[in-house]
Amino acid sequence: MNQHELIEKANQEVERNREMVESDPYRLRFHLMPPVGLLNDPNGFIQFKGVYHLFYQWNPFETAHGAKFWGHYTSKDFINWEHQPIALAPSEWYEKNGCYSGSAIENDGKMVLFYTGNVKDENGDRETYQCMAVSQDGITFEKKGPVIYLPEGYTAHFRDPKVWKKEDTWYMVLGAQDEDKQGKVVLYSSTDLMNWNLLGPLTGSAMNQLGPFGYMWECPDLFELDGKDVLLVSPQGLEPEGDVYHNLFQAGYFVGELDYQKASYQHGSFTELDRGFDFYAPQTTVDEKGRRLLFAWMGITDDNEKYQPTIEKGWIHAMTLPRVLTRKGEKIVQQPVEELQLLRKNEVSYNEVQIITSNVTLEGIKGEALELLFDEIIYEGDSFEINFRGGARFEYSSKLGKMRLQRKNFKDGSIESRHCKIDAVKKLHVFIDTSSIEIFVNDGEEVFTARYYPDVADQTITFSALGRVQFDLKKWDLG
Ligand code: FRU
């Protein structure tokens, strides 16, 4: 099918399923979702002529992975989003099995996309092409075809171009697997966006003192944050280790220095960006206010994906809230963008609430789409727990110096947990949507992100303490 026919077919799929999808009580109120089918990575995140554009990996025809399109949302304020016409459909020989992930830049007043053309033959053998598409208006794109072919030394797991400009040169990082099946991040440069020079691998498994560190690295993003070069990347193949790496795939960062001349990147250790269950393939951009903004896929590819209950209503997955990144030493801190405050309604406020028993509820603190801000948290005791709508529990044990988020496993309903060490929980900023939760701890020092599926009718938030806990609390309904 040609691009026009594919887009027609996808639009029909949206229309045909609209009523069913929108009838889902788990449809989110203030997160971006696919209109039908499956959404995964954020792509092409950019502020272009004042407007934020967020593209996304999209399979409109199934709630499973497949030949991806680039869906497209725009917004001026991160509150009101418009769904735009499909930006890319997998119509050409070099992308016939998917217009895979990539990024956007502005050049000479035009928006330029770089993405991976994914091709699989009858035997399942893969080919990969790094492609370019150009737009005058940021809405309709003209494909220019491949600009980078697979170099020697790498397998066809070579994808997800992220492009930026430094002085007069364009740079691109790609996620890769080398011939020894080690995950790598590879750097290219260009002066005209058409001709690209391979500068070499920057870091990866079995490089830079990392030891074995995964068989494939996806979705790299490299940028300067407050004088340091930060690499975000999603490695595949790390084994669980104590509190970390319990999701099937990870998403995290390195802080270091990139030497553009030598194409070498010296960095510290890898840290997970999020401590919850659903956070993958984050992508950033810098906006006109100079903020380093991030969206991530609030989901992950694993064996339990297919048991998410929204599938029976024809859709699956969503984006995280937009977040601002800052750096505190070697640590990357995430905060929800301040624009989200415009969603606030019906404030309820408490000072010095004391919790000394189990299952306490507070008048006015309930709902299915709300924001909770806990401040001045003080403990005299061992632990503090918040139960969200009977579907997720957040617990802080001062005795263990650990936090924990629990939810029901999508497949068998058993309780599963993610943990993280913390010195003291002083502040919690929680965003609860109909089927998601994002918990920013101590002004974004740590974040837990997860989908969860509570009983639709259950809107209760309950508090429990072993010992005594005190806090100030504000609540707003959102949306
Ligand atoms: C990450 C990823 C990317 C790829 C895309 C395909 O989730 O596997 O590496 O480009 O998804 O949808």
Number of domains in the chain: 2
Tell whether 467 and 383 lie within a shared domain.
Answer: yes
Ligand 1 touching residue 159 (CB < 6 A): yes
Q: Which of 315, 336, 357 is the last residue of a domain?
A: 336
Tell whether 270 and 415 lie within a shared domain.
Answer: no
- Here the tokens at position 370 are 């709300």
Tell whether 296 and 158 lie within a shared domain.
Answer: yes
The preferred substitution site among 43, 57, 319 for testing ligand 1, maximizing ligand atoms within 8 Å of CB, is 57
Q: Which atom of ligand 1 is nearest to the CA of 300?
A: 7
pTM of the full structure? 0.97
Q: What is the pLDDT of residue 124?
A: 85
Tell whether 243 and 392 lie within a shared domain.
Answer: no
What's the pLDDT tens digit per position in 363-420? 999 999 999 999 999 999 899 999 999 999 999 999 999 999 999 999 999 999 999 9
Q: What are phi and psi of 10, to 5 degrees?
A: -65, -40
Ligand 1 touching residue 281 (CB < 6 A): yes
In three-state secondary structure terms, 459 is coil
Residues with Cβ within 8 Å of 17's Cβ and at least 6 positions away in sequence, in order, are 35, 36, 314, 315
The preferred substitution site among 115, 159, 248 for testing ligand 1, maximizing ligand atoms within 8 Å of CB, is 159
Tell whether 201 and 267 lie within a shared domain.
Answer: yes
Q: Which of 317, 336, 355 is the last residue of a domain?
A: 336
The CA distance from 432 to 416, in Å, is 19
Q: Which atom of ligand 1 is nearest to the CA of 249?
A: 7
- Here the tokens at position 458 are 């259950």
Domain of residue 51: give its range: 3-336
Q: What is the pLDDT of residue 275?
A: 98
User: 332-353 burial, b for 16+ CB within 10 Å, e for fewer?
Assistant: bbbbbbeebeebeeeebeeeee
Ligand 1 touching residue 221 (CB < 6 A): no
Tell whether 471 and 400 lie within a shared domain.
Answer: yes
Tell whether 214 and 323 lie within a shared domain.
Answer: yes
DSSP string, 123-154: T--EEEEEEEEEESSSSS-EEEEEEEEPPTTE
Q: What is the pLDDT of residue 80?
A: 97
Q: What is the pLDDT of residue 46?
A: 98
Ligand 1 touching residue 95 (CB < 6 A): no
Residues that are catalytic: 41
Q: What is the CATH number of the domain that holds 245?
A: 2.115.10.20
The CA distance from 354 to 192, in Å, is 62
* Other Cβ atoms within 10 Å of 45 Cβ, number: 24
Q: How far, in Å, is the centroid of ligand 1 from the Cα of 216?
A: 11
Ligand 1 touching residue 383 (CB < 6 A): no
What's the pLDDT tens digit per position in 196-210? 999 999 999 999 999
Across the 479 residues of the chain, what is the mean pLDDT of every consecutive 10-residue run? 96 98 98 98 98 98 98 98 98 98 98 98 93 98 98 98 98 98 98 98 97 98 98 97 95 98 96 98 98 98 95 98 97 98 98 96 97 96 95 96 97 96 96 98 98 97 96 96
Q: What is the pLDDT of residue 468?
A: 95
Q: How far, in Å, is the centroid of ligand 1 from the Cα of 342?
A: 32
Q: What is the pLDDT of residue 381?
A: 87
Q: How far, in Å, is the centroid of ligand 1 from the Cα of 363?
A: 44
Tell whether 291 and 383 lie within a shared domain.
Answer: no
Tell whether 93 and 145 lie within a shared domain.
Answer: yes
Q: How far, in Å, is the centroid of ligand 1 from the Cα of 67?
A: 11
In three-state secondary structure terms, 21 is helix
Q: How far, in Å, is the centroid of ligand 1 from the Cα of 364?
A: 42
Tell whether 352 and 438 lie within a shared domain.
Answer: yes
Q: What is the pLDDT of residue 479?
A: 82
Ligand 1 touching residue 158 (CB < 6 A): no
Tell whether 407 and 442 lie within a shared domain.
Answer: yes
Q: E strands along 153-276, which residues? A: 154-166, 169-178, 183-190, 197-204, 216-225, 228-236, 252-259, 264-267, 271-272
Nearest Cα residue to 34 out of 9, 53, 17, 49: 17
454 with 392: CB under 8 angstroms? yes
Tell whether 265 and 402 lie within a shared domain.
Answer: no
Cα first-last separation, the chain? 40
